């Protein structure tokens, strides 16, 4: 089943102390470009998160947001810097002596100075937290893949309809091509008769001209390749894994054959159908850009 490169997934997992929230969203990209945004206290887990997510996706510009909420306790702790307090007190005494001013300082006043007391995040490197983050990321990734598969199913349906439309245009050209040669032969014979005003026509000469025309306008090979590529696209739409790059290549080949068919066209109806083919291929190409 093909998957879209557009996706979204969210999950919340919690224990007695902590709730971890993971959100994943993605858009089209030629390769896998993963951007993970974490709280500072979770930075140590970035590599683990990246490895988890690689099992769920192969292409796309993916943004991952991991956040948390404390359920019990605090995620910060007050830190007392005794050395900083002693430095402040020392230089206050120096200033008091040098300037001959009264020394009037209390502990609460000293505590107001920068770096004496700081509020720091508690480290979060216990196994329980790691498991909670892993669970949240995995569940969000599963929801993300489900979203992509659902979008991919709709893409596949739309692409199959367009491929059927493409096949009808190719069938029309295939059936019309032999008739074009016969029509050319009839027109050529009529024109020569009018020019010579008699029936003394060199049949061999006419057959030669018709053969030259047929060779220049023959699209048998292009028809065969167009049909082959259409089947190949349908087959890839049923395959597993990331098939977007392969589909993109096949669609390029479809367009190449369509261009050749159009350049060889010597009939208005065939020209119009060839243009229709190119139009449908362009629509297919746009859709294929959305497939992982």
Whole-number Å distance between alpha carbons of 158 and 4: 13
Strand segments, DSSP code E, in the chain are 7-14, 18-27, 32-37, 60-70, 76-80, 117-121
Residue 60, Cα to own-chain centre: how many angstroms?
Answer: 4
Region(s) of the chain under CATH 1.20.140: 152-288
For domain 152-288, the CATH class is: mainly alpha
On the 0-12 / 13-18 / 19+ scale of CB atoms within 10 A, 266 is middle
User: Among all chains, which residue has been given the structure tokens 């009018």?
Assistant: 194
pTM score, whole prediction:
0.72
For residue 230, pLDDT over 90 is answered with: yes
Q: What is the mean pLDDT of residues 160-164?
A: 96
What architecture is the 7-73+126-148 domain classified under in CATH? 2-Layer Sandwich (3.30)
Q: 54-95, pLDDT tens digit by residue?
A: 999 999 999 999 999 887 665 666 788 888 888 888 888 888
């Amino acid at each position: 089943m093909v998957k879209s490169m557009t996706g979204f997934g969210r999950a919340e997992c919690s224990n007695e102390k902590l709730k971890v929230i993971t959100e994943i969203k993605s858009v089209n990209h030629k390769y896998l470009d993963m951007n993970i945004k974490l709280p500072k206290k979770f930075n140590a887990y970035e590599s683990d998160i990246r490895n988890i997510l690689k099992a769920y996706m192969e292409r796309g510009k993916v943004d991952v947001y991991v956040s948390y909420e404390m359920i019990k306790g605090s995620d910060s702790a007050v830190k007392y810097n005794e050395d900083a307090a002693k430095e402040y007190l020392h230089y206050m005494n120096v200033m008091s002596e040098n300037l001959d001013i009264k020394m009037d300082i209390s502990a609460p006043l000293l505590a107001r100075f920068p770096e004496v007391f700081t509020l720091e995040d508690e480290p979060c490197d216990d196994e329980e937290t790691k498991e909670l983050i892993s669970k949240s990321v995995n569940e969000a990734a599963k929801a993300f893949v489900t979203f992509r598969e659902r979008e991919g199913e709709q893409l596949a349906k739309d692409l199959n309809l367009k491929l059927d439309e493409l096949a009808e245009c190719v069938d029309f050209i295939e059936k019309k091509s032999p008739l074009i040669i016969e029509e050319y032969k009839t027109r050529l014979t009529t024109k020569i008769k009018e020019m010579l005003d008699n029936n003394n026509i060199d049949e061999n000469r006419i057959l030669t001209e018709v053969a030259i025309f047929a060779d220049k306008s023959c699209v048998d090979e292009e028809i065969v390749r167009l049909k082959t590529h259409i089947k190949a696209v349908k087959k890839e739409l049923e395959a597993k894994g990331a098939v977007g790059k392969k589909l993109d290549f096949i669609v390029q080949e479809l367009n190449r054959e369509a261009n050749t068919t159009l350049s060889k066209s010597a009939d208005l109806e065939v020209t119009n159908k060839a243009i229709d083919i190119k139009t449908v291929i362009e629509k297919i190409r746009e859709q294929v850009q959305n497939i992982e």
